[in-house]
Amino acid sequence: MQGIKKFIPTQVKAKYLNLLLKVGFDRLDFGSFVSPKAIPQLQDTAEVLSLLDLSQIETKLLAIIANVRGAAEACKHPEITFLGFPFSVSETFQLRNTNADITASIERVKEIVALCAQHNKLPLVYLSMAFGNPYGDRWSPEIVSHYTEILVNMGIQHLMLADTIGVSNPANIRLLYTSLKNSFPAIDLGVHLHSTPYSIQEKIAAALQSGCQRFDTALGGYGGCPMASDELTGNMATEALLAFLKEEKIQTLLHEDAFRRAQEYSNTVFS
CATH number of the domain enclosing 60:
3.20.20.70
Q: Decide: 194 and 164 in contact? Cβ < 8 Å.
A: yes
Does an H or E element contain 159, and which?
A: strand 158-162
Residue 204: pLDDT above 80?
Answer: yes
Domain count, the chain: 1
What is the average per-residue pLDDT within 25-51?
94
Domain with 194 in it = 10-269
What is the average per-residue pLDDT within 217-223?
84
Which of 239, 249, 167, 165 has its CA nearest to residue 208? Answer: 249
CA atoms within 13 A on the CB side of 264: 6
Q: What backbone torsions phi and psi does residue 70 show, to the nearest 5 degrees?
A: -65, -40
- 133 within domain boundaries: yes
What is the average per-residue pLDDT within 6-15?
95
What distance in Å separates the CA atoms of residue 139 and residue 142, rounded to the nearest whole number?
Answer: 8
**Percentage of the chain lying above the pLDDT 70 cut:** 96
DSSP single-letter state for residue 59: P
- pLDDT tens-place string over residues 83-107: 999 999 999 999 998 999 999 999 9
Residue 227: pLDDT above 60?
Answer: no
- 5 within domain boundaries: no
Contacts of 225 by beta carbon, 8 Å cutoff, 6+ apart? 2, 3, 97, 128, 164, 232
Reported confidence tier of residue 233, pLDDT bands at 50, 70, 90: low
What distance in Å separates the CA atoms of residue 182 and residue 221, rounded to the nearest whole number?
Answer: 30
What is the average per-residue pLDDT within 218-233?
61
pLDDT of residue 223: 60
Residue 231: pLDDT above 50?
Answer: no
- 110 within domain boundaries: yes
